[in-house]
Amino acid sequence: MSATAANLAEALRGLAALHAAAAPFLAHWPAGDAGAAAPSPEAVPGLPVLAFLPALERSGIPAADAVLDLARALARRLVWRQTYAEPQVDRRFLDRYGWTELVGRRGLLTSESLAAGLLMLGPDTAYPPHRHAAEEIYIPVSGRARWLKGASWSVRAPGTLIHHPPHVVHATRTRAEPLLALYLWRGEDLATPARLC
């Protein structure tokens, strides 16, 4: 793994470590260079959502800004993916959605028990309600968004932690600004993707 990608992975870890609730996830963080996973056939080096990179703003939170700076510098060299395809979701959503994994089965650091990476959504984008077996944490890096958990929506700012227990329905909606968020997944079923509700 290159030093710059290693720096981004460590920046993700550093941002998550600011929250005690992330400790059970970080306990699964692979030690050292655990080996690089080969990109899968569905991996795409660049997605349309990356056009919104210049609109991402610094939050003033040093750990979040470190992630943002490294993500911007490396974005075009990272492997970006999408969980869904047409006709599950429309083309507009796909043009405004993508994620990259730095730790996990498809990550630069391999792990069978943890996945960590970045989610990016363009402005005015609704990530539809979905659920999955993995327990999940999000920490917004840049951008305010509305987050649904169960039946309740709330606006969350950069640096805050959003926790989704296994199988709980959740969704995200951006407004005028794009969103970049750290995600952490843990559990026995990391290979099973989210299911739309």
E strands, 37-189, are 80-81, 97-103, 114-121, 126-131, 135-142, 145-149, 152-156, 162-164, 170-174, 179-186
Predicted confidence (pLDDT) per residue in 12-30, tens digit: 999 999 999 999 999 999 9
Predicted confidence (pLDDT) per residue in 2-12, tens digit: 547 889 999 99
- Cβ proximity of 79 and 28 under 8 Å: no
Predicted confidence (pLDDT) per residue in 28-74, tens digit: 999 865 444 444 445 555 799 999 999 999 999 999 999 999 999 99
Average pLDDT value for residue range 141-147? 97
Predicted confidence (pLDDT) per residue in 75-131, tens digit: 988 999 999 999 999 999 999 999 999 999 888 899 999 999 999 999 999 999 999
All structural domains of the chain, each given as residue ranges with its CATH number in brackets, are: 5-28+50-190 (2.60.120.10)
Return the pLDDT at 45. 59
Return the pLDDT at 32. 67
Average pLDDT over the chain, rounded to an integer: 91
Average pLDDT value for residue range 137-163? 96
Stated pTM of the model: 0.92
